[in-house]
Structure formats: C-alpha cells, structure tokens
C-alpha cells in the first residue's frame, strides 16, 4: 500500500521541483546541480561508514542469521529471519543489512527498487521534496537552489539503488550512461571498499571519498570504528 501511494507522490513532487527549476533557470543552476550531487554522495559515504561499524544489539540472535550455514532460501531460514528481525527496531535491521552485505554483496543487487529506497523516501526524500515544492513555488528560494535540491534529493533517495547497481551485472541504460559520464561510480571503484572495509564508503559517484577516507582515518584513531562492529555480536 505504501509503495503504491508514496512512490507516485514522491515522483510527482520531484517533477514539481524540476518544473520550478526550469521556470527560473540561471547560470548558477549547473554548479548547484553538481554541488547537490556531491552532497548526496557525501551523505551516502557517511551513512555507509556509520552503518558498517555501528554494533548490532547483543543477545538478539542476529549473529545466528549472519553465520547461518544452510540455504537462505529455506523455510527454516526465512522463519528464523522473521523471528530475529521482530526483536529489533528499524535502525538495527538496516544496520544488519549493511553488515550482511559484505560477505554476500550480490544479494543487494537482487533486491527490488522499493526495498532499496522505500525507507529513504518515507523518512527523508519525500518530506524534503515537498518542503522544496513549497519554498520554490512561493518564491522563497530561486531556481538554482531548487536545482541543487533536486540533485541532493535524487542522489539521496536512490543511493541504495545505485549501490545495488554496483552488484548487478545488468543495469538500465541510464545507469550505464551516468557511469560513462562519471556521475556514478564503477563496480571496480567500489571493489576498493570491499577489499578493506576501511575506505571508499561513498557509493554514488565517489567524488567525496577522499574526504570520507580522511574522516574515517581520524575517527579510527579515536577508537570510533572498531572492527568488532563489522559483524553482529553473539
């Protein structure tokens, strides 16, 4: 139900913002678009870094899911997954998904669009897009601000979809075109993250990875990113 209502509403709101930006074009629109895209990439990296190293709650049995030895398509695993996920909140479920992604990266590429972006649309992208509608059509912000906001909203809302596309062999033409233009990163560039789990956390275009890498090194020196947080605790 939420998917059938909220996704069209989000796209309609986004289209309204595109219209507002087009009705008030300026030379500032292009740098604003690039700045918004960079900000979305930076947000994807900071969130990814936090989720990777945030510990999951102990005593909830998430480690049994993570290290499950049998088939993950079995009825036993699916029942166990539902039971364990019922014991934790939405944030911890999301944290678990980030950790589970590392040993099983291709699973992310098999998920459908709504599962990848639904929570982001509901919690952030849709409310921010509607707010921008109000600000743009009442003249409180110029068209170039709307343009930057559009890039930020799209990059933020579809961050996990773009992440999933890095673990999928076949992608829509728009993803391939954006990669050729440097607006989305390549699977080879993202593999640098999986090789160490200590660098290149940004998953949109990767423009912000030099900054995110410095932040990670600084935080690790302060003990903020302990390797124990990479896997669910027993």
Question: Per-residue pLDDT tens for 50-63?
Answer: 999 999 998 899 99
Least confident of 31-45, 94-108, 136-150: 94-108
> Are 119 and 91 a contacting pair, CB within 8 Å?
no
| Triad 174, 176, 182: Cα angle to 5° | 100
Q: Are 152 and 39 in contact (CB under 8 A)?
A: yes
Extract the tokens encoding 137. 């059509």
As a whole-number percent, the residues of the chain with pLDDT over 70 amount to 99
Burial class (CB in 10 A: 0-12, 13-18, 19+), 143: buried
Interatomic CA distance for residues 234 and 229, integer angstroms: 12
Going 61 to 65 to 157 to 133, the CA torsion angle's sign is negative
Quick one: 24 exposed, middle or buried, by C-beta within 10 A (0-12, 13-18, 19+)? middle
Q: Which residue has the tokens 């936090």?
A: 50
**Global pTM value:** 0.92
Q: Look at residue 94 in the predicted model and tell me its pLDDT.
A: 86
Which tokens belong to 218?
A: 């600084």
Kindly report, residue by residue over 69-118, the tens digit of the pLDDT.
Answer: 989 999 999 999 999 999 998 888 888 989 999 999 988 888 889 888 98
The per-residue pLDDT for range 145-171, each reduced to its tens digit, is: 999 999 999 999 999 999 999 999 999
Output the DSSP codes for 109-137.
HTS-HHHHHHHHIIIIIHHHHHHHHHHHH
Give me the pLDDT at residue 66, please: 94
Q: Name residues whose C-beta falls within 8 Å of residue 167's C-beta, 6 or more positions apart in sequence.
A: 105, 106, 107, 108, 109, 187
- CB under 8 Å to 131, separation ≥6 — which residues? none
Q: How confident is the model at residue 1 (pLDDT cuts 50, 70, 90)?
A: low
Model confidence pLDDT, tens digit, residues 165-195: 999 999 999 999 999 999 999 999 999 999 9
Q: Is the distance from CB of 159 to CB of 39 less than 8 angstroms?
A: no
Q: What is the mean pLDDT of the chain?
A: 94
Apex 69 CA angle, 65 and 73, nearest 5: 75
- Give the whole-angstrom CA distance, residue 198 versus residue 192: 9
> What does the alpha-carbon distance between residue 12 and residue 193 come to, in Å, rounded to a whole number?
35
How much is the pLDDT for 108?
87
SS3 of residue 175 by DSSP: helix
Provide the token pair at 232.
């669910």
User: Domain residue spans in the chain?
Assistant: 9-23+39-53+110-225
């Amino acid at each position: 139900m939420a998917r059938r209502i909220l996704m069209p509403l989000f796209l309609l709101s986004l289209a309204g913002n595109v219209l507002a930006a087009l009705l008030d074009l300026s030379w500032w629109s292009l740098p604003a678009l690039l700045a918004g895209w960079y900000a979305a990439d930076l947000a994807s990296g900071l969130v990814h870094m936090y989720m990777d190293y945030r510990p999951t709650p102990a005593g909830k049995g998430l480690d049994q899911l993570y290290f499950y030895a049998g088939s993950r398509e079995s009825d036993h695993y699916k029942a166990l997954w539902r039971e364990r996920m019922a014991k934790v909140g939405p944030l911890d479920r999301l944290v678990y998904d980030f950790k589970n992604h590392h040993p099983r990266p291709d699973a992310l590429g098999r998920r459908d669009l709504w599962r990848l972006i639904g929570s982001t649309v509901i919690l952030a992208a849709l409310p921010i897009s509607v707010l921008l509608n109000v600000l743009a059509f009442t003249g409180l912000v110029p068209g170039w601000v709307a343009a930057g906001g559009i890039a930020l909203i799209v990059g933020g809302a579809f961050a996990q979809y773009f992440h999933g596309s890095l673990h999928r062999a076949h992608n829509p033409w728009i993803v391939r075109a954006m990669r050729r233009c440097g607006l989305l990163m390549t699977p080879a560039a993202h593999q640098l993250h999986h090789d160490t789990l200590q660098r290149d956390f940004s998953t949109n275009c990767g423009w912000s990875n030099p900054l995110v890498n410095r932040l990670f090194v600084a935080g690790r020196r302060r003990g903020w990113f302990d390797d124990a947080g990479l896997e669910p605790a027993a």
